């Protein structure tokens, strides 16, 4: 590897490679196409990241023309990969750009125009930037597909295929995943040339330090049991089936006194990033998530994952469970199962190669406490954690808005106009006056000066005061 990478690894306390790294690095550093399979949390990011950086080191990208590309299925995983590679990219003088939906497309285009050597991207947003002319892929010499099976599951294969057609034809391609199914096979046959395959775990492998538990509960007990588990002393990720269910459960937990938050695809990227940071910092202790976020959550020291709603496929179970027992640590995966779900869950466990401990529980049972650390919640409602200070860009935007509405604020308080809405000005039949009214509404004013008495009456009646029309000529 490039000498700067050795120094950075040592500085970060990494002196021995994980099995997936030992297996793949000789071939990937030599430029071979690599097909690697390893369980989640096994060190795949550095397995492909180190050779990608080493083979790109010493080169500079032209504007809009990156030299290396990592495609991932979710925004969370993109952020995780960026965070993992950033210190090593800096050590060899390479610039990284993260390209994902939910964040400013203009800023991402600016980063590409500035000349980023390494791009970590979700397929949809990268395709948008390519179509806009903000990015060209013909100089990409090293391409990585991370968690390719989930990209196939999420319907990204057409976009991934189109993007792979555009990278340099003679470049290196690496595909890493925890499972390799038929959707991935099509990509391998089409885009990898004589790949060397390294599989350090069977497809159904799980971490040996991870224990699996099936807790059989009745429908009327499930909600209370879920709340008691969430109230444990320590953090927990609770997986549910839909984003609406995630929001609902998070609200219920907050009402019961548990510091909870929801994470799903319906949240904006800043919201998702903030929620994960609050979970890592302990401001949130129960994270309620959907499968869309399962592969992008990396939290050190997390020892419990709960499937409140059992997954429908074995691979989803493995990836949910992979949020715990990472990097050699221990952890537990608990699945709550209703009577009518027992047969399906038993089949899923068999497919995944799991032999769980199965026990029937009720709220407050000793077995529930032993397995999950469940305890009674305080019952005192808590409010969601407050958002951090706004970013510099948000502050600039806020200052601009305050300047635009400063005059109106001094006259009668722009906040009242925003809350109640600006009433149309009567007696103005021309387009110009209507345009002025619309413009003043956007800036937070009503276009007329209202008396203090009128606003006082509005507050007491709950109705906005009627604006005065233009004065008639004498």
Each residue's pLDDT tens digit, 374-430: 999 999 999 887 654 444 444 444 444 334 444 433 333 333 333 333 333 333 344
Q: What is the pLDDT of residues 220-244, one digit of tens each?
A: 999 999 999 999 999 999 999 999 9
CATH of 210-372, one of 3.40.50.10860, 3.40.50.300, 3.30.499.10, 3.30.420.40: 3.40.50.300
CATH of 3-199, one of 3.30.2130.10, 2.60.40.420, 3.40.50.300, 3.40.390.10: 3.40.50.300
pTM: 0.59
Mean pLDDT, to the nearest integer, of 329-357?
90
| Torsional sign, CA 102, 103, 105, 109 | negative
| Residue 453 pLDDT | 42
| Residue 414 pLDDT | 37
Is the pLDDT assigned to residue 370 strictly greater than 50?
yes
Hey, where are the domains in the chain? 3-199, 210-372
Q: What is the pLDDT of residues 81-132, one digit of tens each?
A: 999 999 999 999 999 999 998 889 999 999 999 999 999 999 999 999 999 9
Q: What is the mean pLDDT of the chain?
A: 80
Q: What is the pLDDT of residues 336-347, one digit of tens each?
A: 999 999 999 999
116's tokens: 């980023």
Smallest CA-to-CA distance from 98 within 263, 296, 241, 232 is with: 296
Mean pLDDT, to the nearest integer, of 296-312?
84
| Residue 210 pLDDT | 79
d(CA 62, CA 6): 27
d(CA 179, CA 355): 19
| Interior/surface letters 129-141, b for 16+ CB within 10 angstroms, e for the rest | bbeeebbbbebbb
Query: Given pLDDT bands bounded at 50, 70 and 90, which one contains residue 323?
Result: confident
| Residue 417 pLDDT | 35
430's tokens: 């021309």
461 φ, ψ (degrees, to nearest 5): -95, -20
d(CA 208, CA 196): 26
| Residue 339 pLDDT | 96
- Domain 3-199 identical in fold to domain 210-372: yes
| Interior/surface letters 310-342, b for 16+ CB within 10 angstroms, e for the rest | bbeebbbbbbbbbbbbbeeeebbbbbbbeeebe
């Amino acid at each position: 590897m490039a000498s700067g990478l050795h120094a950075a690894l040592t500085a970060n306390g990494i002196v021995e490679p994980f099995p997936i790294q030992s297996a793949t690095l000789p071939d990937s550093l030599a430029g071979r196409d690599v097909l690697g399979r390893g369980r989640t949390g096994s060190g795949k990011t550095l397995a492909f990241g180190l050779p990608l950086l080493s083979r790109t080191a010493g080169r500079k990208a032209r504007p809009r023309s990156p030299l290396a590309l990592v495609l991932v299925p979710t925004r969370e995983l993109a952020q995780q990969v960026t965070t993992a590679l950033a210190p090593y990219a800096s050590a060899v003088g390479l610039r990284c750009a993260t390209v994902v939906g939910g964040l400013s497309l203009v800023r991402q285009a600016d980063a590409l125009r500035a000349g980023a050597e390494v791009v970590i991207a979700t397929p949809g947003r990268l395709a948008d930037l390519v179509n806009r002319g903000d990015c060209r892929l013909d100089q990409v010499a090293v391409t990585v597909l991370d968690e390719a099976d989930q990209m196939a599951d999420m319907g990204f294969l057409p976009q991934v295929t189109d993007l792979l057609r555009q990278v340099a034809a003679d470049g290196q391609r690496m595909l890493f995943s925890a499972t390799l199914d038929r959707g991935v096979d099509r990509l391998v046959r089409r885009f990898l040339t004589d790949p060397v395959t390294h599989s350090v775990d069977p497809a159904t492998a799980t971490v040996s330090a991870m224990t699996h538990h099936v807790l059989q509960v009745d429908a009327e007990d499930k909600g209370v049991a879920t709340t008691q588990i969430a109230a444990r002393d320590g953090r927990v990720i609770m997986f549910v089936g839909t984003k609406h269910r995630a929001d609902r459960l998070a609200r219920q937990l907050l009402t019961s006194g548990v510091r909870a938050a929801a994470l799903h695809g319906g949240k904006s990227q800043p919201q998702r990033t903030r929620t994960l940071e609050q979970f890592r910092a302990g401001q949130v202790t129960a994270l309620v998530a959907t499968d869309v976020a399962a592969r992008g959550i990396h939290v050190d020291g997390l020892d419990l994952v709960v499937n409140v709603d059992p997954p429908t496929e074995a691979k989803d179970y493995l990836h949910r469970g992979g949020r715990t027992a990472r990097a050699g640590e221990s952890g537990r995966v608990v699945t709550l199962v209703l009577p009518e779900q027992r047969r399906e869950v038993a089949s899923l466990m068999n497919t995944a190669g799991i032999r769980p401990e199965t026990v029937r529980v009720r709220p407050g049972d000793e077995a529930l406490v032993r397995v999950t650390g469940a305890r009674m919640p305080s019952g005192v409602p808590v409010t969601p954690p407050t958002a951090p200070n706004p970013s510099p860009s948000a502050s600039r935007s806020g200052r601009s808005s305050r300047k635009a509405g400063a005059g109106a604020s001094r006259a009668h308080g722009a906040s009242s106009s925003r809350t109640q809405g600006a009433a149309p000005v009567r007696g103005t039949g021309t387009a110009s006056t209507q345009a002025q009214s619309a413009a003043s509404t956007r800036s937070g004013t009503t276009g007329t000066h209202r008396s203090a008495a009128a606003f006082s009456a509005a507050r007491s009646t709950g109705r906005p005061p009627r604006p005065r029309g233009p004065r008639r000529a004498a």
